[in-house]
């Protein structure tokens, strides 16, 4: 039998000119080939045994005026979460300190606002400053931002801003009607122009098809600069929301999205975000093989369940993986 040799892997380059058809073709690749390509991309930019660790705290929950079909914090749904006031600074800092002691390198804070009022930013900027002083990277997700608000947050020391696109532009109107797709893109541009790193991804399992998943990934990959973090969420089906009865997405399909995101945005952290509570150890391992290299630690993501830290610690040890070392954040 003639010995066959594999061709030398080509160097992966960052692209911003993807066609949706290319993303669809990647999603449709034979699974071993897709994982192989994702691994090549991952290993060129990252140590595949390291995982970036973040924690996420809801600093203001409930009463959101948006009608996002997946979100239990929306005031539009049958089962409404009571609106809460902004969390006191002391509680935020105590939670951030515990997160750092547990091994997190980034502390994310979320508020259920459509867009913060300028007076809201006074308290939020103070939170950013105090969390930064602990040596943690800082991240916020508090709704739409204007250029001036983005500049204020940058001055306070904000490192990352999360603002997800959720899905493709074509499918978007079936999920939310109170905010346009362009408004989301405008906020991303405002944040980027202010010098803040971008965290932007979407949700899988809301009834979208493969073309919609490809459309989301194409939009993300064709941004002027790839998001530094790309969270891929698996829908958490919450009772009382319009998407409570959506059909579950199988692990292979979900891993295909992870792998395609890794290939199209090879230098970005691809994060397993919401939905991990119901993932098995084998599904987690499959997603790490597909190129995921970031997770949230903590028992809750804003208002939905998340695996306990000890479960994640045991899983990483089982896989021979470990938290990514974080550079000390400076103001």
List residues with catalytic annotation: 64, 68, 71, 108, 139, 199, 271
End-to-end CA distance of the chain: 63
**Whole-angstrom distance, CA of residue 270 vs CA of residue 230:** 5
Q: Is 287 annotated as a binding residue?
A: no
Q: Is 71 annotated as a binding residue?
A: yes
Q: Is 6 annotated as a binding residue?
A: no
Q: Is 271 annotated as a binding residue?
A: yes
Burial, 131: exposed, middle or buried (Cβ in 10 Å; 0-12, 13-18, 19+)?
Answer: buried
- The string over 242-273, giving b where at least 16 C-beta atoms fall within 10 Å of a residue's C-beta and e elsewhere, is bbbebeebebeebbbbbbbbbbbbbebbbbbb
Q: Is 199 annotated as a binding residue?
A: yes
Asked whether the CA dihedral 300, 239, 75, 190 is positive or negative, the reply is: positive
**Cα 86 vs. chain centroid, distance in angstroms?**
23
Residue 106 in tokens: 């980034």
Q: Is 108 annotated as a binding residue?
A: yes
Show binding-site residues for [2Fe-2S] cluster.
Answer: 108, 139, 199, 271
Output the known binding site for [4Fe-4S] cluster. Answer: 64, 68, 71
Annotated binding site: 64, 68, 71, 108, 139, 199, 271
């Amino acid at each position: 039998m003639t010995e066959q040799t594999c061709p030398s892997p080509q160097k992966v380059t960052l692209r911003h000119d993807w066609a949706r058809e290319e993303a669809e073709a990647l999603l449709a690749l034979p699974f071993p080939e897709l994982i192989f390509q994702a691994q090549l991309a991952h290993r060129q930019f990252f140590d595949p045994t390291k995982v970036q660790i973040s924690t996420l705290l809801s600093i203001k929950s409930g009463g959101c005026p948006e009608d996002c079909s997946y979100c239990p914090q929306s005031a539009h749904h049958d089962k409404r979460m009571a609106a809460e006031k902004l969390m006191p600074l002391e509680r935020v800092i105590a939670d951030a300190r515990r997160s750092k002691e547990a091994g997190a390198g980034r502390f994310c804070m979320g508020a259920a606002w459509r867009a913060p009022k300028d007076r809201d930013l006074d308290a939020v900027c103070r939170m950013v400053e105090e969390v930064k002083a602990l040596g943690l990277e800082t991240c916020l997700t508090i709704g739409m931002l204007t250029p001036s608000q983005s500049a204020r947050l940058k001055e306070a020391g904000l490192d990352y801003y999360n603002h997800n696109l959720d899905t493709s532009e074509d499918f978007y109107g079936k999920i939310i009607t109170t905010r346009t797709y362009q408004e989301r893109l405008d906020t991303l541009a405002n944040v980027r122009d202010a010098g803040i790193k971008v965290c932007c991804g979407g949700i899988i399992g809301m009834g979208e098809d493969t073309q919609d998943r490809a459309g989301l990934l194409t939009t993300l990959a064709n941004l002027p600069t790839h998001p530094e973090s790309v969270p891929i969420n698996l829908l958490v089906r919450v009772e009382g929301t319009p998407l409570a009865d959506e059909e579950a997405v199988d692990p292979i399909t979900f891993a295909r999205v992870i792998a395609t995101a890794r290939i199209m945005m090879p230098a970005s952290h691809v994060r397993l975000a919401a939905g991990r509570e119901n993932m098995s150890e084998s599904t987690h391992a499959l997603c790490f093989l597909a190129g995921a290299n970031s997770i949230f630690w903590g028992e809750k993501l804003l208002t939905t369940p998340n695996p306990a830290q000890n479960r994640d610690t045991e899983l990483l040890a089982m896989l021979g993986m470990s938290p990514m070392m974080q550079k000390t954040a400076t103001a």
